[in-house]
Structure 1
Amino acid sequence: MAAHDALASVMARVTEQWSAAVAARELAAAGVPVFPVIPGGKRPLTEHGFHDATTDVARVESWWRDSPAANIGVPTGAASGVVVVDVDVHGPINGHGAMVRARQAGLVNGWLLLVATPSGGTHAYYPATPGVQQRSWQAARAGIDFRGDGGYIVVPPSAVDLGGATAAYRVRQVNPGPASAIDAEGLRNFLDPRRLPRRPREGERVQGRGDVGRLAAWVAVRQEGERNRGLFWAACRLAESNVPASEALDVLIAAAGHAGLSGREVSTTVRSAYRTIGVLPSPQRGSQPARSDAPQRGSVRSEPLVFRGLA
């Protein structure tokens, strides 16, 4: 695996005066595999695409002598040491809104660098997780793609033709502090709740971060009238699985906030759920009840709960 900071260090030095040939040579010399992409486009020039990527400087120089206007492709995942969250802007789809929500939920922090794309989108680079295969995926409705193992990106100073006008990839910001790996599956579950599992059966427990992330993602898309009920149900599942109330609140507050609930409403509903399961003591007389659309104490046992999107 190439060191992720090798790519970032080269990208931090790219200027408008650099040609693609210079940038490709610098990347290869730093240990980042590259391959040529058609001038003005995103399709590989080589027969086997990103599988032909190399750090052989002589080979790289030969490619760009033959096609000096070629763009630069870099395979993502273990090959280059980086994975990329691709925020797309295309027609009615604008992924920036989804990226803001993911950032508020704490799912996209720790990036290495941000690159502005020709279409008005953003590439956010993260270190690949050593020893873990992170496959590429798409969340089309959210306008977000993930480029991991089995994918590639076009990097600065490459440029594409947008209907007669040429626009370049530009480094927008380099993170001067420490970068961290991204939970790609957690992000996918947040952006695409259709991938949620069925509702657990009676007595079944929430297992690991993946299930917790899916519960939070499901809560985040509840509509008015079902928000508190859905939050209550999810909090009950966490309580039954012995997740501490403070951790449950940390997990659910951003998700429920995205659904439109205030922090106070979230805290009240989560505590109500934990009291129902018997983890917390009953409140003293005069304490504030949960909102009227939240399930009442005991309803999690007496009434079957059916939620759209969880079947």
Structure 2
Amino acid sequence: MMAEHGAVSSVLLRMSVAWPLSAAAREFARAGVPVFPCVAYGKRPATGHGFHDATTDLDQVQAWWRQSPGANIGVPTGADSEVVVVDVDVHGPVDGRASFDRAARAGLVDGWELLVRTPTGGLHASYPATPGTEQRSWQAGRAGIDFRGDGGYIIVPPSLRSIEGRTVGYGVETINTGPTGLLDSDALRDFLDPRPVSRPRPETWQPVGREDAQRLAAWLDRQDTDRNLKLFWASCRLAKGGVPLTDALDAVLTAAKSDFGPREITATVRSAYRTVRGEPLRRGPSSSPVRGESPQIADGWFSRDASTTPETSRVRGL
């Protein structure tokens, strides 16, 4: 039994390489897939706002290709077209096919609907977009893999490229007749391009006093994002500097905003103090982050000059 396919894949399965670009563009629009013109034999958008100009309006689509019959067909990826694409690049020494095969062995790229051969020898693997979830586009250049999701677009058959003086077309290479499925794009990115775990930088710790707990509280009160991570690393500094746990808790709890509640503050500060003292740190919903921004983001409030603010002080790291 033929696997189910989304609108983009369904049009491509009906398409013949003999179709004029204008006819193919109209067919996508009729199927509810927004399209926009790109320059002939290229990938650059031919409209003022690029993929943001994509539409299913047949009158507009016909006007575009009547004006430029050789325009390639662009399709925005993500929620607009309900398709996301793993773009496998082959450029010089970078061969994304090896990375794609490695991800396939790990079970991370199963469920594609079809594979489109690109003019440079690469592939576009198409998947249904995950309903109700934003899947942002990203690049893993060293792996030769790009992900085309929300905020991206692809060129679709029967578009043509000019490669080293030769005219080469996009074309369907393989159709999946088995089960299709959603792609975990975040897991794929972590597999292809792991992001390093941030750790505190070695440094000579300087003594601090009780007034630094007050400075910490004032600084946290001005933060809008990543406050839990900043609180953890800053509390580590207070603990190392000898500020009593009760002083740190009193200062921060006094300045706490409503979206940064007492239970979360207490758990985070206590976790920091246990970490500095070498006691086992329990992992749970309230545990401090172990992956994210560098602890240097929590500096600035620790200047010995009380008039110095995080915005004006030089970031030194904790």
TM-score (norm 1): 0.63
Aligned to 1:222: none
SS in 2 for 1:12: helix
The C-alpha deviation readout for 1:13-60, integer Å capped at 9, x for no partner, is: 121211111111000000000000000000000110000000011111
Q: Distance in 1 between matches of 2:78 and 2:85?
A: 9
- Give the Å deviation of 1:94: 0.3
The answer to whether residue 17 in structure 2 is matched with residue 16 in structure 1 is yes
Percent pairwise identity: 60
Aligned to 2:125: 124
Q: Distance in 2 between matches of 1:176 and 1:185?
A: 26
- Counterpart contact for 1:50–1:75, Cα < 8 Å: yes
For 1:197, give the aligned amino acid. Answer: V
TM-score (norm 2): 0.62
Distance 1:134 1:204, change over 3 A: farther
- Counterpart contact for 1:72–1:156, Cα < 8 Å: yes
Q: When the two structures are aligned, how many residues end up with a matched partner?
A: 206
Aligned to 1:76: 77
Distance 1:31 1:94, change over 3 A: same
For 2:129, give the aligned amino acid. Answer: A
Q: Distance in 2 between matches of 1:123 and 1:48?
A: 24
Q: Distance in 2 between matches of 1:182 and 1:157?
A: 25
SS in 1 for 2:43: coil
- Give the Å deviation of 1:91: 0.6
- Counterpart contact for 1:4–1:81, Cα < 8 Å: no
Higher gyration radius (CA):
2
Aligned to 2:155: 154
Q: Distance in 1 between matches of 2:102 and 2:284?
A: 24
Structure 1 segments, 4+ long, off by >2 Å, are 196-199, 201-207
For 1:127, give the aligned amino acid. Answer: P
- Give the Å deviation of 1:4: 6.4
Give 1:143-292 correspondences, 5 Å limit: 143-193=144-194, 195-198=195-198, 202-203=280-281, 205=283
Q: Distance in 2 between matches of 1:47 and 1:4?
A: 32
The C-alpha deviation readout for 1:156-208, integer Å capped at 9, x for no partner, is: 00011112111100111222233211010100000002x14347x7535488x
Aligned to 1:283: none
Give 1:30-69 correspondences, 5 Å limit: 30-69=31-70
Distance 1:172 1:204, change over 3 A: farther
The C-alpha deviation readout for 1:123-179, integer Å capped at 9, x for no partner, is: 000110111111000000000000000000000000111121111001112222332
Q: How large is the RMSD of aligned CA atoms in angstroms?
A: 2.1
- Counterpart contact for 1:76–1:150, Cα < 8 Å: yes
- Give the Å deviation of 1:81: 0.1
Q: Distance in 1 between matches of 2:15 and 2:98?
A: 28
Q: Distance in 1 between matches of 2:107 and 2:75?
A: 27
For 1:191, give the aligned amino acid. Answer: L
Q: Distance in 1 between matches of 2:78 and 2:143?
A: 22
Aligned to 1:6: 7
Q: Distance in 1 between matches of 2:14 and 2:155?
A: 17
Distance 1:172 1:79, change over 3 A: same
For 1:32, give the aligned amino acid. Answer: V
- Counterpart contact for 1:111–1:125, Cα < 8 Å: yes
- Farther-moved stretch of structure 1 (157-166 vs 26-35): 157-166
- Counterpart contact for 1:8–1:174, Cα < 8 Å: no
Aligned to 1:110: 111
Q: Distance in 2 between matches of 1:25 and 1:206?
A: 54
Distance 1:103 1:67, change over 3 A: same
Q: Distance in 2 between matches of 1:66 and 1:21?
A: 10
Aligned to 1:97: 98
- Counterpart contact for 1:4–1:82, Cα < 8 Å: no
